[in-house]
Amino acid sequence: MNMQNPASGFVQVNGIRLHYLDWGGSGPTLIFLTGMGSSAYIFNKFAPRFTDKFHVLALTRRGQGDSDYPETGYDADTLTEDIRQFMDSLHVEKAVLAGHSLAGVELTHFAATYPTRVEKLIYLDALDDRRSLQAIQQQNPLRNIEIKKEESSPHTFEEYIADMKRDFPYFAEIWSDVWEEEISHNVKINEAGVFVDKMPASVEKMMIENLIKGYIPKKVEAKIPNLIFYALGTPTLENGYTEEQKAAFDQYFRNVRGPILKSVISEFQNRFPHAKVVEIRDGHHYCFMVQEELVYSEMRKFLLE
């Protein structure tokens, strides 16, 4: 099993079917968890680099990728139970958990709920408490500006990809064969023959309400080794904003959101004083892809300590 051809499998847990990838390897188990809207395939270049020392897996949560799309269950308790039952299905007693973005909630909640099942935790630009960042969104100068995108009804995957490249320049730095394969597992063809996102708006809304706006981190009593990466770069805006709007957003991000993010980092360190924190200046949210060598090096040192 390798980057080009990992084993793709499904497990029946919590009354639904979840998809996972298995790159093989021997040693302790390392499980990658995805950000919102991503599937296990997002790790298809990065994860295999650890198979020399670990048995490496990645799980696609409910409502994403090739997993099932139930109408409920998008809360921390249920998602944590999904992970536990996934581990039980594969007879994994204890694992290192590495999560990107939204998965920070799952990392903290799982460690607080099942501390004996966790070896180490790795947060890949994965905040577990975003309430303060949500609150300052009201100061975002672009919050009420709607950018009208060019009308499009892609009838081929290539057309869908072209639309994404046009509309989302932020992804330019991560565009690759891995990214295109990742996208292919998160789209479907609707009744009109048009390529659309698999994830319904209702699922996205539940995740935002339950895991971003309303999640209060559960206290982790156990002293579990933690490594957390913070990507501190300013995101690239979608096409369509004026230069004046872009400048206003840059000022907001640097002078308002940036300092609040720093306070969030400090708060996390207060809760996990033993955590190792790596701040990536001008880092990309998908740091394990854009700053791959840095993230890989720091992860490897942490895992082998």
Averages of pLDDT over runs of 10 residues in the chain (305 residues) are 76 97 96 97 97 98 98 97 98 98 97 98 95 85 83 92 88 92 96 95 95 93 95 84 90 88 89 92 94 98 95
Q: Among 240, 249, 243, 217, which Cα is nearest to 80's?
A: 217
Give residue 1's pLDDT: 41
Nearby residues of 153 by Cβ (< 8 Å), 6 or more positions away: 192, 194
Give residue 3's pLDDT: 46
Give residue 240's pLDDT: 84
Give residue 135's pLDDT: 81
Which amino acid is it at 245? Q
Q: What CATH number is given for 7-304 in this structure?
A: 3.40.50.1820
Give residue 4's pLDDT: 60
pTM: predicted TM-score of the whole model, two decimal places: 0.94
CA angle 179, 242, 176 (to 5 degrees): 10
Distance CA 119, CA 111 (A): 9
- SS3 for 218? coil
The domain limits of the chain are 7-304
Q: Residue with structure tokens 């360190």? A: 269
